[in-house]
Chains A and B, each alone.
Chain A
Amino acid sequence: MLSMALCNYIVSIIGGAIGACIMAAAASFPMDFTENGPGPGFWPFALGLCLLLAALVLAVTTWTERETLEKTKVRLIAAANKRVYVMMGLAAVFCLLISLLGFYVAAFFLIIAVMRLMDYHKKKGLFITACAALLFIYLVFGLLLHTQLPGSVFLE
C-alpha cells in the first residue's frame, strides 16, 4: 500500500506539470485586452496558473502534515485493485472489439468475462445472463429508441 503523502507528492508533480502545459498552450493564443475583452488565451492561462499554484500548495501542505499523511494508506496495488485493472483492460479490449466483431458479439464476451472476473463460473448462468442482457439492450435501444449499434467489419 502507498502512503497518502507519497500519492500527494506525485499528484502535485503531475498537477503542476498539467498546469504548466496549460499555460504554455494558452500562451500561443492572444492574451491582450481589446474591445472584445481579454484574448482567448487569458482565461485558460489564468486557470493553468491557478492549477500550478494549487499543486504547489498541495505539496507544501503535504510536507507540513507528512506525519499524519504517512499513516494514511491508499490501496492501489492490492489484489482487489488488480481485478479493477483487469476490468479496465477488458473495457479497452471491448472498445477494440466493438468495431471488429460488432457490438452484440463483443458485448456477449465482455459480460461473460466480467462475471468470471467476479468469481461466477456457472456456465448456464453466464450464458443466460449474457443473452438476457443483450436481449434487453436490443429491445430498448435497438427497437424502442432506434439506436444503430456498431456492426462487425466482416459484415460490411
Chain B
Amino acid sequence: MADILLALEMIADPLNLLGLVFGVAVGIAFGCMPGLSVNMGLALLFPLTFSFKGVGGILMLLGIYCGAIYGGSISAILLKTPGTPASVATTLDGYPMATALKQPGRALGLSTMASTFGGIFSTVCLIILAPQLAKVALQFSKPEYFALAIFGLSIITSVSSGSVIKGLMGGLIGLFLATVGIDAMSGAVRFTLDTTYLLGGVSFIPVLIGVFAFAQVLGSIEDYYHHKVSGGELAIDRVIPSWSDMKRVFVTLLRSSCIGTFIGCVPGTGGDIASFVSYDQAKRWSKHRDNFGNGEPEGIVASESGNNAVSGGAFIPVLTLGIPGDGATAIMMGALMVQGLRPGPLLFVEKAPDVYAIFIGLLLANIIMGVLGFSLIKLFIKVVKVPIHFLLPIITMMTFVGTYSYNNSLNDVYLMVASGCLGYVLNKLGFSMSAVIIGIILGGMVEQNFVGSLIMSDGSFAIFFTRPLCLFFLAAAALSLCGPLLAKVWGKKA
C-alpha cells in the first residue's frame, strides 16, 4: 500500500502530470500525421526525458506511445491514409463512414471510445498479470535469462521482418554493437577503434534517433515525391457515440480488447497484427457482416480497440522479463534503463513504487487520450492537414537538436546521421530496424548471462540443455527461426 501511495505521489507532481498530458497530445499529433510514426515521436522526444525527475520522463513517453496509436486512426478515417500501420484496418470502415455515409464525427467518436476502452482494458490486465508473472520469473537464473533473451530476439526477428534471415542479421549486428566498449565481465576494451568516444559503448540514443527518426524523414521525402497528401473538407457532427452504437459494438469491444492484449504480450507482433486479427474476428462473429467495408461501426471499434489494447499487453514482457516486443517498447525499455530502472522481475521488488507509477501512468494516459480525443478532435483534424513540407524540415532539426542535447557531443550527431542513412537503405532492403535496436538493448544482458551461465557450469554448454525452462526457451527460439522454412517444406509436400 505504501508503494502505491508513493507512486501516486510521483504521478501527482505537477511537472509529471504536465509531461503526461503533453506526451499524449504530442503522441496524437504524431500519430495523426501521415509520414510520422510512433517510434519517431518516441525517439525524437527521448532526450527530453532527462529534464524530468524520476519516472516523469517515462510518463511522457507512455503518453506519446498511447496517443500515437490512437492518433493514427484520425487520418485513417478522414484521409484514408493511416498515420500508423496499426490503423490500416480502421480505413476499411472508418473512411466509408466518414465519406460515403457523411458521418465523420460518428466514426471519430467510435474510434476514440474504442481506443480508450482498449487501452484501459489492457492496462488493467497488465496490473493484474505482470506481478504474477514477475513472481514466476524471480525463479529464473542466468541460463534461463540467456535462453529467454535468445527466444525474444528470435521471435522478433522472425515476425517483424519480411525475411527471417535479414531479421536475424539485423539482430546479430545489434548484438555485436552492444559488445563495443569496456567488457563488463573482463574489463577488456573491445572494438573502440582507439577512440575515447567508443569507450562507453556505442551510444544508444543517437542510433535510436537515427534509425527511427532520421531514416523516417528520408523515407517521407521519398514518399512525398510520389504522393502529396491533401485532405478534403469534412464537417464534423457529434463525436460522442450514441447509446444504440454502444449497445451494437459492446461485445466486439470486449473481444477485440482481449485479442489486442494477448497479441501485445507476444514479442515481435504489434498493433497492426492485433487490429487485423480483431477486425477479422469481429466480421466472423457479427450479425452485420455484410455491412463490413461499408462503414460498419463494429469494424472501426474492432480495429481501434485491438490496436490500442496492445499497449498494456506489450508492457507485460518488458516489465516482468526485460524483453521488448517491438521498436516502441524497446525505446521505452531504453528510457527505463537510462533512468536506472532495469526491467525484469527484480524491478517489482527493488523499485515497486516506480512500477506502480508506470501502471497508474499508463491508465491515466489512456484516460487523458480519451478526454483529449473527444474534446480537441477539431484541433487534431487541423493538425492532419499541416503540409508535410513545413513539418519535415522542423522534424529534421529536432533530430539534430535532440541528439546533440543528450551528451552535448557533435560525434553523437555524426553517428545519428550515419545510422539514419544506413537505416534508410536497410529499410529499403527489407531489414527490420527494430531487430537492430532490440539487439543493442538486449546485447549486454545476453552476453553477461551467457558468460555467467558458463561460469556456473565450469565451461560446460550442457547447462543450457539440462535445465527444463532453458531448454524450452531455446527450443522455442529454434522453432520460431526455422518455422517459416519448415512451413515452406510442409507446403510443398502438401
Contacts and interface: CB of A to CB of B under 8 A. Distances in A.
Task: Please tell me the size bucket of the interface on A.
Answer: 35 or more
B231 interface: no
Nearest to B458: A33
Given A50-B172, A81-B222, A114-B396, A29 B455 contact: no
Contacts of B404: 103, 147, 149-150
Nearest to A148: B408
Given A48-B176, A51-B169, A33 B454 contact: yes
B191 A84 contact: no
Contacts of A145: 48, 51, 405
B190 A44 contact: yes
Contact of B401 (A33, A37, A76, A147): A147
Interface string A51-84: 1001101100100000000000011100111011
B221 A38 contact: no
Interface in A83-104: 83-84, 87-88, 91-92, 94-95, 98-99, 103
Interface stretch (B78-86, B95-103, B284-292, B386-394): B386-394
Given A88-B421, A117-B221, A7 B173 contact: no
A119 B222 contact: no
Contact of A114 (B163, B393, B424): B393
A133 interface: yes
A75 B185 contact: no
Nearest to A87: B221
Contact of B417 (A25, A92, A136, A141): A92
Interface string B207-244: 00000001001110111111000000000000000000
A94 B410 contact: no
B429 A54 contact: no
Given A74-B429, A80-B226, A40 B186 contact: yes
Contacts of B459: 33, 37-38
B389 A40 contact: no
A95 B413 contact: yes
B389 A120 contact: yes
Contacts, number: 162
B393 A37 contact: no
A140 to B, nearest CB: 9
Interface string B163-185: 10110110011011001000101
Contacts of A148: 408
**Chain A interface helix/strand/loop/mixed:** helix
B451 interface: yes
Contacts of A118: 221, 224, 388-389, 392-393
Given A51-B173, A54-B165, A119 B389 contact: yes
B430 interface: yes
Contacts of B388: 118
B280 interface: no
Contact of A47 (B172, B218, B428, B451): B172
B4 to A, nearest CB: 32
B414 interface: yes
B442 to A, nearest CB: 13
Contacts of A141: 401, 405
A10 B451 CA distance: 34
Contacts of B176: 22, 44, 47-48, 51
A54 B389 contact: no
B400 interface: yes
B410 A99 contact: yes
A13 interface: no
Given A36-B185, A37-B451, A107 B405 contact: no
Given A37-B451, A38-B459, 7 more contacts: A11-B429, A37-B459, A44-B179, A58-B165, A95-B413, A147-B408, A149-B401
List 4 A-B pairs, minimum CB-CB distance, nearest first: A80-B225, A40-B188, A114-B393, A37-B451
8 contacts: A15-B169, A36-B455, A38-B459, A43-B179, A80-B223, A88-B424, A141-B401, A147-B401
Interface of B: 48, 51, 163, 165-166, 168-169, 172-173, 175-176, 179, 183, 185-186, 188, 190-191, 214, 217-219, 221-226, 388-390, 392-394, 396-398, 400-401, 404-405, 408, 410, 413-414, 417, 420-421, 424-425, 428-430, 447, 450-452, 454-455, 459
